[in-house]
A and B are shown apart, each in its own frame.
Chain A
Amino acid sequence: AQKVTQAQTEISVVEKEDVTLDCVYETRDTTYYLFWYKQPPSGELVFLIRRNSFDEQNEISGRYSWNFQKSTSSFNFTITASQVVDSAVYFCALSEPYSGAGSYQLTFGKGTKLSVIP
């Protein structure tokens, strides 16, 4: 069975501080995808990144960066120089392998609520 653990329930940081959101996953599959989504108070999920299990290269996108460590089954997300607009709930998710049948399911972590204080 797949499982995603986000141990941090809530985090508060002061604006301009860096913050790392942790994500640890469990799966028996050798091929899978990892995701991060942002959910602002409006509720709509905003896609941030998708990572293939074969691609362990870290990625940077502006103030966002992701550290994928297959050896420790972790996919951590760092926001540098945080801003008030970063305040949201962030979800890490894991998908089963794409079967070729047309779709796959996502297993979500419980989410981490980030509050950036001005």
Chain B
Amino acid sequence: GAVVSQHPSRVICKSGTSVKIECRSLDFQATTMFWYRQFPKQSLMLMATSNEGSKATYEQGVEKDKFLINHASLTLSTLTVTSAHPEDSSFYICSAPAGLNNEQFFGPGTRLTVL
């Protein structure tokens, strides 16, 4: 099956710094990837749709300047949390569709803790 990786798996940073999270499709190409955010004991909320070669599409309420998304290639999308604050601490998960039926394959997630 298709494999999606994320790096780093866990990151702790100081308030005010920027953090970059990578999402890679390892054995397939993905023109579209999705970024989700999951607060503790809560559901996954779609943040944005990353599109290769064009701007990302953000969900309502998600700050574009806060969460920068760059779909650099057909196998890589990055999410940069700029000037991170403690309230940005969360579990970030990416996914990419693959296969004949465009089934979603999820990355293992990145746990961000902002001190």
Q: Which of B45, B101, B108 contacts A98 (CB 8 A)?
A: B101
Contact assessment for A91 and B109 in the assembled complex, using a CB-CB cutoff below 8 Å: no
Contact assessment for B108 and A43 in the assembled complex, using a CB-CB cutoff below 8 Å: yes
Across the two chains, which residue of chain B brings its CB closest to A9?
A: B41
Whether, in the assembled complex, B91 has its beta carbon less than 8 Å from a beta carbon of chain A, the answer is yes
Contact assessment for B44 and A91 in the assembled complex, using a CB-CB cutoff below 8 Å: yes
Which size class do B's interface residues fall under?
Answer: 20 to 34
Total interface residues in chain A, CB < 8 Å: 22
User: B30-62 vs A: 1/0 string, CB under 8 Å?
Assistant: 011010000001111110010000000000000
Residues in A whose Cβ lies below 8 Å from that of B49 = 103, 105
Segment 65-92 of A: residues with Cβ below 8 Å from B: 91
Across the two chains, which residue of chain A brings its CB closest to B96?
A: A103
